[in-house]
Amino acid sequence: MDFLLQHYNYLWLAIALTSGILLFGPMLRVNPNAISPQQAVLLLNREDAVVIDVREQAEYASGHVPNARHIPLKEITDRAGELKKFAKRPFIVVCQSGNRSAAALDALRKAGFERVFNLSGGVAAWKEAGQPLSRA
């Protein structure tokens, strides 16, 4: 009888551990290439980072990070050569929410750029953090 009770205790323990991992696992994953708007401002001010906006033209025109270079995601691989002159500076890749910029980050890394960061939450997070947007 004790064996059965112990067996069920292990089952409950396994269920509890599994549910805990499933619940808290996504929060524990850390993307070292993702930066917050505040970290982006520090990179811009301290290291003269280059901001690359990979959204479509209409999205870019509606408001973008000041001085951002506009290179749509579908053109990022072909136009990576334009960025070679800034290779020693860090790059901050931006889209609306942070998803498209993750793909652009991978393309830039494959093109040989090492210090490439994804603005977590994209332009939406930038705006929510109270940072300015440019329409020029």
Structure tokens at 117: 């960061």
**Burial class of residue 48 (count of CB atoms within 10 Å of its CB; 0-12, 13-18, 19+):** exposed
Q: Which of 35, 73, 95, 108 is catalytic?
A: 95
Alpha carbon distance 55, 51 (integer Å):
12
> Is residue 86 annotated as a catalytic residue, yes or no?
no
91-129: b or e for each residue (b if 16 or more CB lie within 10 Å)?
A: bbbbbbebebbbebbebbeebebebbbbbbbbbebbeee
Q: Give catalytic residue positions.
A: 95
